[in-house]
Amino acid sequence: EKLHANVATVEHATLARQLAASSTVLLKNSPRLFGTAVSSQRVLPLQQLEQVAVVGSACAQQQDISAMVDDWTSANYYVVGGSGRVIPSKVASVLDGLHGRGLNLRESTSDSLSEAESAMQGANIVVVCGGTTSAESSDRVGLHLNEDNFIQEVLTSAIAMQVPAIVVTLVPGAIVAPWRELAGAMLSLFLGGQESGHAIGDVLVGAVNPSGKLPVTFPANEADAVPPCQGPVCKYNERLRGGWHVYDGKPVAFPFGHGLSYTAFEYLTNQDWQVQADGSRLLSIRVRNVGAVAGSEAGQLYVGF
C-alpha cells in the first residue's frame, strides 16, 4: 500500500508546473493573418476574450491508473513507461490548462474532423493536440504522432476557414511533423508529468515566456533518422557522428537546440577568444533582453571536430 501512496504536496505541484512550463519548446510562431494582410502580432500568446477552438482527443487525454499499475511498461502522453515511471495521482490536460484563462473556449475532444470544424466556426484561433508514447523494453514504431492524420485535416480546414492554428505536441523524443508548414504556431513538451496541461496553458496565454530548447533534432523525414535495431545485435556505424551529426548535410524540420521566445535577445562579445596561460581558451559574451517581455535565454556553444 505504501508503494501506491500519494505523497505529492502543493509545493511539489507548483515546482512540477514551473519545470514543465520552463522546458516547453516554442518551435514556431508566425505573424497572424487578417484577411490578406500580415500583422505584426504573432499567433502566440493568446489574447484575452479570444474565441479559441480546442480540438482533438489528445487535448483532453487522461490517464488510466489501473492499467498503468497492472502493466509496468504502460505509458501516456505525460509519463514514460518502465522502471523509471512515476504515476501521478491526477494529470492536467491541455484543455484543463486553458480553463479559467479569460478565453472563450469552443471544445471538441474527439478526433472527428466534422466536430472540429463545428468548433472552429466563429473561432479566432484553434489549438489542436497530438502526442505519442515511449516505454522501456521496446522501440517506438515510428516518429509520427498518433494523431498525425487528424492534425493534417484540421490544419487544412483551418487554412480554408482562415483560422490560425496552433499545434501542441506531447512527446517523449524526436518526432516528424509533415504538416508543420500549415501550422501558425507549434510547441512541444517532453513528458511534462502531472502539470503538463497547466504548464502549456501558462505558455499559450503568455503567463510564462517559453525558454525551452530542443534536446534532440526533429528530422524533416523519418528516413533520415537512425532506425531501430531489427535484431539483438546493434551496429552503430555512425560512430562519433551520432546525435545531431546524424543529420549533417540533410535538411531538418527543427535543429537540436532550437527554441523561440516571446521576446528577443541580443548577444554581444565582451571578450573574443583568448588563449590562456594553461592552454585553455576563454570567450566572454553578454546576453541582453531587447524585447518588451521578461524572459530567460540559454546560451549555446557548439564545438566542431
**Percentage of the chain with pLDDT > 90?**
78
Q: Tell me what the pLDDT averaged over the chain comes to.
A: 93
Beta pairing partners, 26 = 187, 260
pLDDT tens for 152-183 read 999 999 999 999 999 999 999 999 999 999 99
The residue-averaged pLDDT of 258-263 equals 97
User: Residue 24 in contact with residue 199, Cβ under 8 Å?
Assistant: yes
pLDDT tens for 35-65 read 656 677 899 999 999 999 999 999 999 999 8
Closest CA to 93 of 202, 211, 200, 212: 200
User: Residue 150 in contact with residue 130, Cβ under 8 Å?
Assistant: yes
pLDDT of residue 6: 76
pLDDT tens for 211-232 read 999 999 999 999 999 888 878 8
Give the pairing of strands 265-275 and 51-55: unpaired
The residue-averaged pLDDT of 178-193 equals 97
Q: Is the pLDDT of residue 73 over 60?
A: yes
User: Would you state the cell numbers that stand for residue 119, as one nine-digit string?
Assistant: 468548433
**Percentage of the chain with pLDDT > 70?**
97
Beta pairing partners, 29 = 185
Q: Which residue has the cell 496552433?
A: 166
Q: How far apart are CA 178 and CA 144, in angstroms?
A: 9
User: Residue 200 in contact with residue 24, Cβ under 8 Å?
Assistant: yes
Q: Is the pLDDT of residue 34 over 70?
A: no
pLDDT of residue 112: 98
pLDDT of residue 257: 95
Q: How far apart are CA 287 and CA 298, in angstroms?
A: 9
The answer to whether the pTM exceeds 0.85 is yes
Q: What is the edge-to-edge ordering of all strands in the sheet holding 25-29?
A: 25-29, 185-190, 165-171, 125-131, 51-55, 104-108
The residue-averaged pLDDT of 262-280 equals 94
